[in-house]
Structure 1
Amino acid sequence: MEKLGMRYQGKAKKLYETDDPDILWVEYTDQATAGNGAKKANIEGKARLNNRITTVIFSLLARRGIPSHFVRSISDTEQLNRRLDMFPLEIVMRNRAAGSFAQRYGVAEGTALKQPVLEFFYKSDPLDDPFINRDDILALGLATEQDLDIIAAKTREINGALTSIFRAINVELVDFKIEMGKTGSGIILLGDEITPDTCRLWAIGNNHDGQVTHLDKDIFRRDLGSIIPAYQTILDGLTELEERESQSNS
């Protein structure tokens, strides 16, 4: 596989064309951002951790019948992904009130929701990724009714799988953000990444006096210390889970 010119540079990844038109070369970077890029820092080791974490998560999801664009990891910080025509949407699933949801409705962070909440945000840096509802999406032609039905069903399936995966390593999945796109034949697949950059993850049974032990990018957002030990904890737990599942299936 030959790496060609850069196709896109995001906040935490660079995407390159390859000599296979259906495959993209993805390079994770050490850059951390918050507030839609308002806060930035270069954190050594972040690229390696996120590349490995998303590799393991996509593998665990595949075992549970949830396919993605992931093809294979090719270095500590790089992987190959199937090319998708991405929806310009951030798809958010919430199991507890946190972040913008808690602020929007004046709910205490950590409040358990009576059911998971599915939200959409329009991917637009100039507009600061605004909240967008289903009717808006349809009116703007960003997706069809059928697309949104499939996206919603897949997101709920992913939520169930991820909740179980993280619970197995004593971590609670508070919420997460994913992206999806279509293959050339029109199949909707999970894309982008699933890492502590895109999930809120709280340690189970390790919280004291109402204080949450964060294992995600909120550590960076809120200046709570270094993200590296937390991300390493997530990687270690997921790697052990993957090994246990591999042994049980052999």
Structure 2
Amino acid sequence: MELTRLVFGLLVAVLLPTSLDVLRTRPWAAHAITGSYAAYAVFPVLDGAEAALVWAAAVLTGMLLLPTSGRLTLRFPIRRWTRKLHDRSVLSSYLRPVTAHRSLAMVSGVLLLAVGVFYGSAWPQKVVALWRDDKLGLVLSGFLLAVFVGNLVVARVVRPYFNVLPEQGGGASLLHLGTQLGWIERALVFTFIATGQPAAAALAIAVKSLVRLPEVREQAEGTFSQYVMVGTMTSLIVAVGAGIAVRIALGLPAL
């Protein structure tokens, strides 16, 4: 289980920043996520110089996999920060609508506050115990691989179909909607498969198919229906495969 946790965790640390637009356009946030999650995957499993070398290799690989604008960026945007401090509209810039990464930060803050309130002075020991919990680390990494990193696999498979969609009235809006629906679909399917409820996973797939059925009917003669079917099947295979892999690593039956 420790080896599987290490492998899954390193895959998440390296590939997660490349699978989310919000991280691809923010190199320092991407590097921070890679370094933090690599540490979470490596140090509870390995010790000493071996752990440090594996962590450094994961961080370097994550940096190199980012787009060119995000590779090994060593300059701090001091001038941009100082201009914002002198800008009269600086307050309004912090009152923008809540985005995905801000929502994640808010949820993380609330969870940390809840842990502190619930466990009181014993919260550091509880946090360390959770950090060293191989089962939790394996399930969390499997979930992130299925939901977010899995989007890289789906995007690669449906690319030939998506390239034709702009000619048939599709485009970026379809890709954005498909990405979000794919996140929800893979999250539900992975959760149900990992908890041993394949029937519930089938229900989640059926619900998602019903959501997109009107769009498929409208463009039944074009490439869009193929794009939806191929994307759904690929997304399903990724989520089910990740769920089964996690169950096997935990010593449970595949289904």
User: Does TM-score exceed 0.5, indicating one fold?
Assistant: no
Larger RCO of the pair (alpha carbons < 8 Å, separation 6+): 2
TM-score, with length taken from structure 2 = 0.28
Task: Return the structure number with greater strand share.
Answer: 1
For the pair shown, the structure with the greater C-alpha radius of gyration is 2
